C-alpha cells in the first residue's frame, strides 16, 4: 500500500461538534461578515452569509469579492478538518485552489460546503463548493491542511 499510513483507531474523530461550533462563532472575521454555521457533521461543514453591500468586489457588476468566497471555503474546509481529527490541535491551510465557475448573483447570500475526504497523520485533504442556487455552483475548491501546525 502506498504510504502505508494507518487509518486505525488513532485517527478517530473525537472533538465534540458543539465545541467546534462554539470556537467558530467567536472568530472575529467570520463575525464581521456575518457568517453562519448551517450544518456541521463529521467530515462535512456548510456555512453561509447574507448579501451585504460591503462585500462587493466589482463596483460595475456588483459581484461579491473573490476574497469573501475564499474566506467561506477556507473556513468551511478548516471546520470539516476539525470535525475529523482525534484531538484539539492547531491546523494550517497549506494550499487552497479555487475555480470561479460563474459570477455570483448580486443581492443574494452565498453558501459554501466542504468535505474532508481523506485524513492522514499529517495532512488533511478537503474539497469544497460555493453556491447560491444549488444547481448553479459559483466556485469549487481543493485544499490541504497541515495538522499540528504549531510543530512546523
Partner 1 sequence: MTEEHLARLHKMKVQGRPQALVDAIPYLKFLNVGARLEADGSLICILPNQEKTIGNPTLPAIHGGVIGGLLESVALLQLIWSLEGPSIPRTINTSMDFLRSGQAKDTYARGRITKQGRRVANVRAEAWQDDPARPIAAAHGHFLLG
Please enumerate, as own/partner, the contacts of 16-21 that have beta carbons within 8 Å and a separation of 24 or more.
17/41, 17/42, 17/83, 19/88, 20/79, 20/82, 20/83
Name the minimum Å distance from CB 72 to partner 1: 7
Sign, CA dihedral 114-28-146-90, equals: negative
User: Residue 28 Cβ, how far from partner 1 at the closest point, in Å?
Assistant: 4
Q: If we measure between CA atoms, which residue out of 125, 114, 148 comes closest to residue 44?
A: 114
Are the beta carbons of 141 and 73 closer than 8 angstroms? Answer: yes
Q: Least separation, in Å, of the C-beta of 52 and partner 1?
A: 9
Closest distance of CB 62 from partner 1, Å: 9
Binding site for partner 1 (CB under 8 A): 26-30, 32, 53-61, 64-68, 70-75, 90, 92-100, 103, 149
Q: Which is nearer to partner 1, 11 or 56 (CB)?
A: 56
Which lies closer to partner 1 via its Cβ, residue 13 or residue 57?
57
Q: Give the chain's radius of gyration (CA, Å).
A: 16
Residue closer to partner 1 by CB (options 11, 94) is: 94
User: With respect to partner 1, which residue has the nearer C-beta, 93 or 137?
Assistant: 93
Amino acid at each position: 500500500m502506498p504510504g502505508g499510513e494507518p487509518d486505525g483507531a488513532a485517527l478517530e474523530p473525537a472533538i465534540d461538534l458543539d465545541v467546534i461550533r462554539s470556537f467558530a462563532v467567536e472568530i472575529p472575521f467570520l463575525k464581521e461578515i456575518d457568517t453562519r454555521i448551517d450544518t456541521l457533521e463529521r467530515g462535512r461543514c456548510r456555512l453561509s452569509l447574507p448579501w451585504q453591500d460591503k462585500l462587493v468586489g466589482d463596483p460595475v457588476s456588483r459581484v461579491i469579492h473573490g476574497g469573501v468566497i475564499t474566506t467561506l471555503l477556507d473556513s468551511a474546509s478548516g471546520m470539516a478538518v476539525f470535525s475529523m481529527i482525534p484531538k484539539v490541535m492547531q491546523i494550517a491551510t497549506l494550499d487552497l485552489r479555487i475555480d470561479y465557475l460563474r459570477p455570483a448573483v448580486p443581492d443574494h447570500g452565498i453558501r459554501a460546503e466542504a468535505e474532508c475526504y481523506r485524513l492522514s497523520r499529517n495532512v488533511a485533504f478537503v474539497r469544497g463548493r460555493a453556491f447560491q442556487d444549488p444547481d448553479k455552483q459559483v466556485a469549487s475548491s481543493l485544499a490541504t491542511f497541515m495538522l499540528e501546525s504549531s510543530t512546523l
